[in-house]
Amino acid sequence: MSALLEVQGLAKRFGSLRALDGVDLTVEEGRLTGLIGPNGAGKSTAFGCIAGALKPSAGSVRFRGVEIAGTAYHRVARLGIGRTYQIVQTFADMTVLEATTTGALMRRPRLRDAIAHAREVLTFVGLEDKRYRLGRALTIADKKRLEVARALATEPSLLLLDEVMAGLTPAECRDAVDLLRRILARGVTVLMVEHVMEVLMPIADRIVVIAAGKTIFAGTAGCAVRDRRVVDAYLGSPLEHGAIAETPT
C-alpha cells in the first residue's frame, strides 16, 4: 500500500501555547489508521491542520504527494479529504436529506443529481427512512451517522473521523464498526480519533499515539498496548497482554 497522507513535523501554536510540537504520521491508502492520545494531546488540532481549518505554524502535510499545509478548507475538501467533528455539527433546522445534499453539491452542482447522491449515501449509512427529520430531532447516534453521511457525500478518498463513537451504547458502537468496515470496503481510507481501545484494536491497521503535541508511537495496535511510552502517557497502567516493549515497530 502507498502513503495517501504524510504528516511531518506538524506544529501549531496559539500565542504561547504549543498545541502541536512535532507530529509525524503516515496513512496508507485503503487502510484505517487510529490516532489516540490523552485529552489535550492535540488530536483535534492535528485534524484541523490536515483538513485546512487551521494553518500550521510549521511542518508538512502531503496528500497524494502534494503539499497542502495551509490550504483553505474548501480546497482541501475538493482534493478529497472529508471530516467529522468531535462536537457534532448538526444543521438543526435542516432535514437529514437537506444536510447531506449540502455535501453532495460540492461535486454535483445540479440539485437533482446532488439529491439523488445524498439519498444513496443515506441508504448506505442507514438514515434513508429518516431523511425528512430535522437534525435537532435525531438521537446522538443518528446525529453522528448524519455527520458521516454529510462527509461521505463529498466523495472523499480520505475520511477524518473525530470520536464518532463517543457517547454511543455498546450496540451502537457495534453498528458503527460495521459501518466503518463498509466504508473501507468502498475504498475510502480512514484516519480516526477514538478513545475506546477495545473498539479501535480489531479494526485499525495502524495506531499513531500523540502526547503533549508530539508523536510518541506509530505501529500496530498490538504493539501499542505493550509500549511503555503509550502506557505511561495514555493507558495509565500495563495491560494484561504480556511484557511491555521498549520501542515501537
Per DSSP, the residues of 86-145 read SS----TTSBHHHHHHHHHTTT--SHHHHHHHHHHHHHHHT-GGGTTSBGGGS-HHHHHH
Q: Which residue numbers in the chain have pLDDT < 50?
A: 238-249
Domain ranges of the chain: 3-90+155-235
- Structure confidence at residue 55 (pLDDT): 96
- Structure confidence at residue 197 (pLDDT): 74
Tracing cell 466523495 back to the chain, one arrives at: 155
Return the amino acid letter for 147: E
E strand or H helix at 182, and its extent?
helix 170-185
The pTM assigned to this predicted structure is 0.90
CATH code of 3-90+155-235, in short, is 3.40.50.300
What are 209's strand-pairing partners? Answer: 36, 217
- Structure confidence at residue 244 (pLDDT): 34
By C-alpha distance, which of 86, 210, 178 is closest to 140? 86
Tracing cell 478548507 back to the chain, one arrives at: 73
d(CA 190, CA 192): 6
- Structure confidence at residue 236 (pLDDT): 64
Residue 3's CB: how many other CB atoms inside 10 A?
14
Three-class secondary structure of residue 223 per DSSP: helix
- Structure confidence at residue 1 (pLDDT): 56
pLDDT tens for 14-23 read 999 999 999 9
Tracing cell 485499525 back to the chain, one arrives at: 204
9 class by beta-carbon count within 10 Å (0-12 exposed, 13-18 middle, 19+ buried)? middle
- Structure confidence at residue 64 (pLDDT): 96
d(CA 166, CA 199): 11
Q: What end-to-end distance do the CA atoms of the chain give, in Å?
A: 17
